[in-house]
């Protein structure tokens, strides 16, 4: 969509304020010797829970769970909008004349504003895990949100022409990288932005490609499509395409940006695949202070997992769909027909906190869990969570719940995967009814090793992934 020209005005330069990293003796930036990474030659990164004190960009410790649910609901709504291909728009302002066509140039000509219509994306923020990524030459490290529901990787860039949110550490400076270059509007990667961000690309007055990434919780990033060397530890990859954000607004914690792992040619996975392979795996840790997990890109140990095929879907070919076939509570199948599980498409997602199930399946699960815990005092509903108990999940006796998927893969849920503590005295079933799509969220995935083998179109699960 053509950019709308508005009156030329001067823009205030918003510079992100660095904040001090939290340091704990129990915290480590090194990847531990996780059992599922043994004999694996993939690229291994440490992964942190967004509310862990060990996180290099933690969310506020006193963030109420109601806020988590609110942003989780926005993410679910935006995923539903993507599947329904529902258009939406929101104008944002970008000083397009600041983009230079060379590595370090930024024209100082008169500013002009661009009004950019933004469509639905995927909400990020409180539910997403974080890691570190190096960028530029010489490489500097940045804290990044990891998201399987997004394709384009982006981070905040100086001079933050319109706005930058508060982040941990300094903002990336393209002028300080000898390998940085902006991407022209005629490049194929500029055309590819439409599928990567679900928003049309735009063009600056200096012929630099403008990306627009919007998210369901009203967060967004707009900036210049760029190319530079990306690095993780001692491994570096040149000519990596990403977004250099100049207008970044919303709740991203204190991260510098986002790493996209969806099925799209501009995602980090697909750009690294020629040298590392079309697969990645992770273990999502809990929020405990000394707990960490991992993100591994590349080869993995195939014999350790039970697999389910990736399901094909015409709704959105960048998301990861699977088929749920059943749920057992205390060894007994739920009292629903097998067709109830396939009444909605099912997505597995790293950033959704609360798993959404087809209404009939959820009702049966709620009834079965409540029945198995009939000796535990009930508590009032908490927002969308209507099956709640007095106490904390770790101190209650809960039934064994197993989620089964096509091909024989299964998740045997521990108490921490079944219930979520919403305050100091209440815990609730970490499931809710779905409207347009079922979603396997990250509460159920925590401490499991989950592999996305895109080349062979399958997803695997293995218990004890974070140990």
Active site residues: 147, 349
Cα–Cα dist 300/196, whole Å: 26
State both tokens at 435. Answer: 């409207």
Cα–Cα dist 150/386, whole Å: 30
Cα–Cα dist 107/457, whole Å: 46
- Beta-sheet pairing, 257-260 with 140-147: parallel
Instruction: Count the neighbouring beta carbons within 10 Å of the beta carbon of residue 31.
Output: 19
Is the preceding omega at residue 454 within 30 degrees of 0, hence cis?
A: no
The CA-atom distances, in angstroms, between 53 and each of 28, 110, 415 are 11, 45, 22
Are the CB atoms for 359 and 433 separated by under 8 Å?
yes
Are the CB atoms for 193 and 154 separated by under 8 Å?
no
State both tokens at 364. Answer: 């049966």
Instruction: Count the neighbouring beta carbons within 10 Å of the beta carbon of residue 91.
Output: 12
Cα–Cα dist 68/70, whole Å: 5
List the one residue out of 170, 288, 295, 177 whose CA is nearest residue 232: 295
List the one residue out of 145, 144, 164 whose CA is nearest residue 156: 164
List the one residue out of 372, 368, 342, 338 whose CA is nearest residue 431: 368
Main-chain dihedrals φ then ψ at residue 304, nearest 5 degrees? -90, -5
Cα–Cα dist 85/186, whole Å: 27
The CA-atom distances, in angstroms, between 178 and each of 138, 139, 181, 229, 326 are 8, 10, 9, 10, 54
Cα–Cα dist 166/386, whole Å: 35
């Amino acid at each position: 969509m053509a950019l709308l020209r508005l009156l030329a005005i001067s823009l205030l330069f918003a510079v992100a304020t660095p904040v001090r990293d939290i340091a704990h003796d129990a915290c480590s930036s090194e990847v531990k010797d996780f059992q599922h990474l043994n004999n694996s030659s993939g690229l291994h990164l440490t992964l942190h829970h967004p509310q862990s004190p060990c996180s290099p960009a933690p969310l506020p410790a006193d963030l109420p769970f109601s806020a988590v649910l609110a942003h989780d609901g926005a993410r679910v709504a935006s995923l539903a909008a993507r599947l329904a291909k529902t258009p939406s728009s929101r104008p944002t302002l970008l000083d397009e004349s600041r983009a230079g066509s060379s590595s370090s140039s930024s024209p100082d000509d008169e500013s002009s504003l661009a009004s950019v219509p933004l469509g639905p994306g995927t909400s990020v923020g409180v539910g997403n895990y974080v890691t570190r990524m190096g960028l530029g030459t010489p490489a500097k490290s940045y804290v990044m949100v990891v998201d399987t529901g997004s394709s384009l990787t982006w981070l905040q860039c100086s001079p933050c022409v319109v706005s930058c949110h508060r982040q941990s550490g300094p903002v990336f400076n393209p002028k300080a990288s000898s390998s940085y270059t902006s991407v022209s509007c005629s490049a194929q990667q500029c055309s590819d932005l439409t599928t990567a961000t679900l928003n049309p690309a735009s063009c600056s007055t200096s012929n630099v490609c403008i990306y627009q990434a919007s998210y369901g919780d009203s967060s967004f990033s707009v900036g210049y499509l760029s190319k530079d060397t990306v690095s993780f530890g001692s491994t570096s990859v040149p000519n990596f395409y990403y977004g250099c954000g100049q207008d970044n607004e919303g709740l991203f914690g204190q991260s510098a940006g986002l790493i996209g792992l969806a099925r799209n040619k501009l995602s980090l996975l697909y750009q690294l695949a020629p040298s590392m392979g079309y697969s990645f795996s992770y273990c999502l840790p809990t929020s405990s202070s000394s707990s960490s997990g991992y993100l591994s890109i590349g080869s993995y140990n195939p014999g350790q997992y039970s697999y389910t095929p990736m399901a094909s879907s015409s709704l959105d070919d960048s998301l990861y769909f699977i088929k749920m076939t059943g749920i057992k509570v205390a060894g007994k199948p739920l009292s629903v027909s097998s067709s109830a599980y396939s009444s909605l498409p099912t997505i597995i997602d790293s950033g959704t906190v609360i798993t959404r199930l087809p209404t009939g399946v959820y009702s049966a699960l709620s009834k079965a869990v409540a029945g198995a815990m009939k000796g535990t005092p009930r508590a009032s509903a908490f927002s969308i969570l209507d099956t709640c108990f007095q106490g904390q999940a770790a101190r209650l006796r809960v039934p064994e719940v197993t989620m089964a998927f096509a091909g024989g893969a299964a998740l045997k849920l521990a108490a921490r995967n079944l219930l979520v503590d919403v305050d100091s005295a209440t815990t609730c079933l970490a499931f809710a009814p779905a409207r347009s799509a079922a979603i396997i969220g990250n509460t159920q995935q925590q401490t499991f090793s989950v592999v996305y083998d895109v080349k062979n179109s399958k997803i695997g699960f293995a218990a004890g992934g974070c140990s």
